[in-house]
Chain A
Amino acid sequence: MSPEKPPILKVSKLVKRFGGFHALDGLSFHVVPGEILGLVGPNGSGKTTAINVISGLYAPDGGEVVFDNVSSGGVASHKLVHRGINRTFQVPKPFLSLTVRENIQVALAYGGATGTPPSIAELLDEYRLKEVADRPAADLNSAQQKMLDLTRALATRPRLLLLDELAAGLNPAELDWIAGRIKALAATGMAIIVVEHLMGFIEQITDRVIVLNAGKEIFEGTLATAVREPQVIEVFLGGEHAH
């Protein structure tokens, strides 16, 4: 990562409310091409809401999201996909009755990928889905469905990839393998935001983390520094551990 690169995504004072609950309360951060940024925080801190707003599933109630120098807050998801944003879901959401290959074909046909489209055979091979390529997605186990979510996102050639708890439920060998894949994607210049609870995994892959609590950023820096911050320790473990 070269720090002088201009950010591909800038989030400023982002607000998202659900009734009286402020899921995001003035969140600001940025990510540059080739960077892997971790979003961490306790349950309900706003990590997934941030991903949902950036990917167009929710319109923000305040603040601004700028992707590639163009305002993208409140823009329909499919348009953001065409601009170069994609994501995976905490609970994978494949098209269950379609085959694995068809799941990826939809994204290849409609994802608006510019340049040479990714090869479906390579995607299947790289993400260990070759053997199940012609099976309905409903037949896949949870880890395979997560990989299918990821390959469907990659088929659209995103420049910003949002990974929502991709690692949850993977075994140690799979974690090492997927960490390598994510780093390889970032090395191509793709900006990646990772929401994750597995701190070892976050430490292994991220350049920088943002720690969220109650929809606000409480820390920005490396995970190694974050774990020594009293405020971070307090939100994760409770006040008595902070000092």
Chain B
Amino acid sequence: MHNASKHLLFILAPLVAVFALLPGVYQNHLLLFNFVIFLILAQGVNIIYGFTGYLPFGYVGFFGAGAYGFAIMVMHLQTPAPLAVLVGGAVAIALGLLLTPLLRLSGAYFAIANLAASLAVLHFVANPALEGITKGPYGVSLTGTFNPTHAYYAAVVVMALTVGAVVYLKNSSFGLALQAVREDAVSASMAGVNIIKMRVIAWLASALVAGLAGGIYAWYVSVFYPDNVFSGEFSIFAIVFALFGGVATITGPIVGVLILYGIYNLIGFTTPQYFQLIYGLLIMGLVLFLPAGLVSLATRRGWHVP
């Protein structure tokens, strides 16, 4: 059996099955939905950071653009929700295209510029002058399309596609070439790789993923403000979860979300007074002792981690 088939069968299929079946046995559907959204976003960060080395501190910009793309289509054109989700993805791609000049930067400069870009989009959307289109700072209410069940399963589908895309990257020459660009762009070009094209494709793919997630999030919650869907927490959590598990792998971001977001909720429910303290210590421990993520515990021993 090819590696890709194994990864689809033993990683993707069980993950999808678990999240497709859990709503039948576990009543906190919002929590399950948030898990799925973070699984999508962490893998989106994996695509752009794990495979090309760009750390997207403003990743939420695409998520918010997707949410507003969805909302505008529903509010003004009464578009059916699934189609509006696709438009949300397209809006994120358009924003990604607009921001492609940022890819000329690297390291902290890219991260800061990306963060600034996401704030610019937030303030553009929240501008009272655009109330007629975006409802400005007053938020949107999309009660007509409210259907959390459908939105949840749409999220599971997008999660499956996103993890499927990472399985492809992990098992294809394309993914190998992306990693080559991340390791050494000059050498990659001497291997015949068009580095600009590769970076743009990865950037737009990760934008699409976040845009679709944002559209589905808007569908699920139906009522939101610009600050909700452009909250920096989405970027930070997605990055921390992906790093905690280990990027440039299929399983790392999944493990990161399941463990860290699990602990996050557990602490939040049981000992909310120590919540920030314990969570902060956990992240500090990760950075100090496991900079390459949990999967490095296995790779250090020579084990292969998909």
| Interfacial residues, chain A to chain B (CB-CB below 8 A) | 55-57, 76-78, 81-82, 86-87, 89, 93-98, 102-103, 105-107, 109-112, 149, 152-153, 155-156
Residue from A81, A94, A98 within 8 A of B189 (CB atoms): A81
A18 to B187, CA, bound (A): 22
> What are 10 A-B residue pairs whose CB atoms fall within 8 Å in the complex?
A77-B190, A78-B193, A81-B189, A82-B192, A93-B187, A95-B184, A98-B176, A98-B179, A106-B193, A153-B190
Contact A109 B186 (CB under 8 A): no
Contact B190 A109 (CB under 8 A): no
- Per the 8 Å Cβ criterion, residues 170-191 of B in contact with A are 173, 176-177, 179-180, 183-184, 186-191
Contact A98 B190 (CB under 8 A): no
Q: Map CB proximity to A onto B274-299 as digits: 1 under 8 Å, 0 otherwise.
A: 00000000000000000000000000
A107 to B176, CA, bound (A): 10
Q: Does B78 contact A (CB under 8 A)?
A: no
Known: A78-B189, A82-B192, A153-B190. A109 touches B183 (CB 8 A): no
Residue from B183, B184, B192, B248 within 8 A of A110 (CB atoms): B192
Contact A95 B192 (CB under 8 A): no
Contact A110 B193 (CB under 8 A): yes
Contacts of A77 in B (CB 8 A): 186, 189-190
Contacts of B188 in A (CB 8 A): 95, 106
Contact B191 A156 (CB under 8 A): yes
Which of B173, B183, B188 counts the most A-chain CB atoms under 10 A from its CB?
B183
Residue from B177, B179, B190 within 8 A of A81 (CB atoms): B190
Contacts of A112 in B (CB 8 A): 192
How far in angstroms is the closest Cβ of chain A from B199? 13
Q: Does B195 contact A (CB under 8 A)?
A: yes
Contact A78 B177 (CB under 8 A): no
Contact A109 B176 (CB under 8 A): yes
Contact B192 A93 (CB under 8 A): no
Contact B179 A78 (CB under 8 A): no
The size bracket of the interface on B is 10 to 19
Contact B176 A93 (CB under 8 A): no
Contacts of B194 in A (CB 8 A): 76, 78
Contact B183 A97 (CB under 8 A): yes
Contact A110 B191 (CB under 8 A): yes
Interface of B is mostly: helix
Known: A81-B191, A81-B192. A105 touches B186 (CB 8 A): no
Contact B173 A55 (CB under 8 A): no
Contacts of B176 in A (CB 8 A): 98, 102, 105-106, 109
Contacts of B193 in A (CB 8 A): 78, 106, 110
Contacts of B177 in A (CB 8 A): 106, 109-110
Output the nearest chain B residue to A82 by Cβ-Cβ distance.
B192
Contacts of A156 in B (CB 8 A): 191-192
Across the A-B interface, the 3 shortest Cβ-Cβ residue pairs = A109-B173, A111-B192, A95-B183
Output the nearest chain B residue to A79 by Cβ-Cβ distance.
B194
Residue from A56, A95, A111 within 8 A of B187 (CB atoms): A95
Output the nearest chain B residue to A87 by Cβ-Cβ distance.
B190
Contacts of A89 in B (CB 8 A): 186-187
A153 to B188, CA, bound (A): 11
A102 to B248, CA, bound (A): 15
Which of B176, B190, B192 counts the most A-chain CB atoms under 10 A from its CB?
B190
How far in angstroms is the closest Cβ of chain B from A67? 15
Contacts of B184 in A (CB 8 A): 93-96
Output the nearest chain A residue to B183 by Cβ-Cβ distance.
A95
- Per the 8 Å Cβ criterion, residues 141-181 of B in contact with A are 173, 176-177, 179-180
Contacts of A87 in B (CB 8 A): 190
Contact A110 B173 (CB under 8 A): yes
Contact A97 B190 (CB under 8 A): no
Contact A98 B192 (CB under 8 A): no
Which of B187, B192, B195 counts the most A-chain CB atoms under 10 A from its CB?
B192
How far in angstroms is the closest Cβ of chain A from B65? 31
Contact B183 A152 (CB under 8 A): no
A235 to B250, CA, bound (A): 57
How far in angstroms is the closest Cβ of chain A from B6? 18
A96 to B182, CA, bound (A): 10
Contact A95 B180 (CB under 8 A): yes
Residue from B179, B183, B190, B195 within 8 A of A55 (CB atoms): B190
How far in angstroms is the closest Cβ of chain A from B103? 16
Contact A86 B190 (CB under 8 A): yes
Contacts of B192 in A (CB 8 A): 78, 81-82, 107, 110-112, 156
Beyond known contacts A95-B180, A152-B187: 17 more, CB 8 A cutoff: A76-B194, A77-B189, A77-B190, A81-B191, A81-B192, A82-B192, A95-B179, A96-B184, A98-B176, A98-B180, A98-B183, A102-B176, A105-B173, A106-B191, A110-B173, A112-B192, A155-B191
